[in-house]
Amino acid sequence: DHIANQIAAGEVIQRPASAVKELLENSVDAGATEIRLIVADAGKSLIQVADNGKGMSETDARLCFERHATSKISQIDDLFHIQTMGFRGEALASVAAVAQVDLKTRRAADEAGTHIEIENSMVVLQEPCAMAQGTSIAMKNLFFNIPARRNFLKSNAAEMRHIIDEFIRVAMAFPQLFFSLSHNGQNVFHLDKGSLKQRIVQVLGNQYNAKLVPVQEQTDYLNIQGFIGKPEAAKKTRGDQFFFVNNRFIRSAYLHHAVMQAFQDLIPADAFPTYVLFIDLQPDQIDVNVHPTKQEIKFEDEKIVYAFVQAAVKHALAQFSI
Ligand code: ADP
Ligand code: MG
């Protein structure tokens, strides 16, 4: 029912940045090569993602806002074989429960696109529309129907910081795609497609141009690749540390420690090395379903991953200092 729906929605969409993450990931899943994020008032009044992905049929455009209607999980075993970013089929249903939604979508083969407006999880308008292939989803007035949650949101500066963090994580994982972000009509990021190294410099800043060392190592069990900052680029503040497992951003104090150990004695004790590391392993070696926002995962054998990360970073550091 309606209340249960709103409570469930609050689990998935906790703040504007949660919606940003879900919308960006859907565009990636749809095979888009250009993804534009537009926000106003730090997402409190508008979050819009427009892409050139495969689009949706008229039926799917209606169905995508129904909880689990599109879930890719048909049996529990599927949880361990997830190839796309999304898999719970509840992000858009959650968005529709807590914001006014304006969807426009068109597949390449369709003559016209579909325009749908949703309020309180109900379709209030549906009409054909003219548009290029792709999808645009705008969510307006987040939590307009749940004042308690709306009042709980932080300042625009704080909420914008969260949005930028989520945007950067997705943009970092897909350097082969174009991304842009604008806030209140001002351009914040304009990221042309390129190599991972170029994307890191675009996002973290030009100071990394000559200060990145490649990491690349492989076993039968797992693969690691990415870049670490040279020790001289280490900072006293955190923020430039990224782990991705099978292309999903994750937080891991445990793996962070592995990198810190590799940098030991090369940087001051109170400094943090920069790293952007992608770990890939068989999907059945991880469980991504332990946290609703999917930022935490469990490894089947975390000690192996720890040792591997530490060794790969050490090798990269040794090569660069020869
Ligand atoms: P999930 O991503 O877990 O499947 P969502 O609620 O995020 O669930 O999305 C529901 C469905 O709507 C997706 O599975 C997809 O079929 C469709 N969809 C959502 N966003 C897009 C998009 N940008 N382009 C094409 N299809 C989309
Ligand atoms: Mg999704």
Q: pLDDT per residue over 259-271, tens digit each? A: 999 999 999 999 9
Q: Which residue has the higher pLDDT, 286 or 188?
A: 188
Q: What confidence tens digit (pLDDT) does each residue in 172-204 have?
A: 999 999 999 999 999 999 999 999 999 999 999
Whole-number Å distance, alpha carbon 195 to ligand 1 midpoint, is 27
Q: Whose CA is nearest to atom 25 of ligand 1?
A: 55
Residues 6+ apart with CB under 8 A from 279: 222, 223, 224, 243, 244, 245, 246, 255, 305, 309
Confidence band, pLDDT 50/70/90 cuts, at residue 134: very high
User: What CATH code is assigned to 198-321?
Assistant: 3.30.230.10
181-186 long-range contacts, CB within 8 A, separation 24+: 181/36, 181/37, 181/38, 181/39, 182/36, 182/37, 182/38, 182/39, 183/39, 183/40, 183/42, 184/39, 184/40, 184/41
ipTM for the complex? 0.99
Could you identify the atom of ligand 1 that is nearest to the CA of residue 94?
6
Which pLDDT belongs to residue 92? 93
Q: Is the pLDDT of residue 249 over 90?
A: yes
Q: How far apart are CA 32 and CA 186, in angstroms?
A: 23
Structure tokens at 84: 């796309």
CA dihedral of 309, 175, 291, 144, whole degrees rounded to 10: 150
Which pLDDT belongs to residue 71? 46
Whole-number Å distance, alpha carbon 26 to ligand 1 midpoint, is 5
Which of 5, 27, 29, 116 for mutating ligand 1's site (highest number of atoms within 8 Å of CB)?
29
Q: Whose CA is nearest to atom 19 of ligand 1?
A: 26
Across 67-81, average pLDDT: 52
Q: Where, residue-wise, is CATH 3.30.565.10 in the chain? A: 2-191
State which residues have CB under 5 angstroms from ligand 2, the bound ion.
Answer: 26, 86, 91
Q: Whose CA is nearest to atom 10 of ligand 1?
A: 64
User: What CATH code is assigned to 2-191?
Assistant: 3.30.565.10
Ligand 1, CB cutoff 6 Å, lining residues: 22, 26-27, 29-30, 51, 53-56, 60, 64, 70, 72, 86-93, 135
Whole-number Å distance, alpha carbon 64 to ligand 1 midpoint, is 6
Q: What confidence tens digit (pLDDT) does each residue in 6-57 have?
A: 767 777 788 999 999 999 999 999 999 999 999 999 999 999 999 999 999 9
Q: Whose CA is nearest to atom 11 of ligand 1?
A: 64
Q: Where, residue-wise, is CATH 3.30.230.10 in the chain? A: 198-321
Percent of the chain's residues with pLDDT above 90: 76
Whole-number Å distance, alpha carbon 211 to ligand 1 midpoint, is 38
Q: How far apart are CA 287 and CA 82, in angstroms?
A: 10
Whole-number Å distance, alpha carbon 162 to ligand 2 midpoint, is 19
